[in-house]
Structure formats: C-alpha cells, structure tokens
Amino acid sequence: MIIADLITGKTINTIKVSNNFMSEPFIFNKSLFIIRNGSIIQYN
C-alpha cells in the first residue's frame, strides 16, 4: 500500500501488505486511519 500526499502527489509512506487483515482507509480530522490486525494506525 502506498500513502501519498493528496496535494503534491508525492509518496509519504510505503507499507508491505501480505496476508494481514487491513480495513479500508478512512480520513477523520485530516488524519488517515487504518485498522490492521486489530490495531488502529493513524497517519497525519
């Protein structure tokens, strides 16, 4: 999965996705949230 800045289009982070459960990403208060293996991960 690639996380990119919506304004500049530049890549912020790259995450290896394998057989792990990962939810659909959602945005709240200008932060990106993903639920992965029962944990909530927040990206600014």
pTM of the model: 0.51
pLDDT of residue 36: 79
Phi, psi (rounded to 5 degrees) for 19: -85, 15
DSSP state of 16: -
What is the C-alpha separation between 32 and 42, in angstroms, rounded?
A: 6
pLDDT of residue 19: 65
Would you state the structure tokens that stand for residue 16, as one six-digit string?
Answer: 């290896």
Q: What is the mean pLDDT of each run of 10 residues along the chain (44 residues)?
A: 82 74 82 82 80
pLDDT of residue 20: 66
